[in-house]
Amino acid sequence: MKLYRTLDELEISGSIHELAEIHKSLISASDNYNETFIFDKLGSAKSYDFLEGKLTISTSHEPACASYNENLGVVITGNVASLKALASFFDFELDASSGEHYHWDNACDLEYTSENTLPIVVSVE
C-alpha cells in the first residue's frame, strides 16, 4: 500500500483487501479512536512529490481534516461521523479494477470534511 503526497493532495493506493482493512478500522471508530497505518515507501512517487510511511487517524470534535506535519507525517482527525463517512471511500467491490478511485473531498460537504483539508484520492492498485 502506498501513501503519495504533494504539498496540496494525498493519494492512498492499495489492493482491495488492504483498503478494506482501513475501511474496517474506520467503520469501527469511536470517541477514542486512534490508529496508525504503515505504508511502503519504496519505489517511485509517480506524479506526486513524496511517498509517506505512515498515516495516523484519530477522533476530534470537528469535521475530518487531512494534513501533513513534518514530525507526525500525514494526519487525519475528525469526529466519529466524519471518520465513518471517510470509511466508505475505502470500500471497493471485490471485482474493482486497478485504477478505480474515489475523491473524498469532492463527495462530502462541510458537515463531514473541513474546508482546510488536503484532498484525498483513494485508489485500487
- Residue 25 belongs to what H/E stretch? helix 16-27
pLDDT band at 107 (very low <50, low <70, confident <90, very high): low
pLDDT tens digits, 73-84: 999 999 999 999
pLDDT tens digits, 22-67: 999 999 999 999 999 999 999 999 899 999 999 999 999 999 999 9
Q: What is the structure's pLDDT at 110?
A: 82
Alpha carbon 36 to its chain's center: 11
* This prediction's pTM: 0.94
Average pLDDT for residues 99-111, to the nearest whole number?
83
Q: What is the structure's pLDDT at 101?
A: 96
Q: What is the structure's pLDDT at 111?
A: 86
Which grid coordinates belong to 66? 487531512
Q: What is the structure's pLDDT at 30?
A: 96
Sheet arrangement for strand 54-59: 34-38, 54-59, 73-78, 65-69
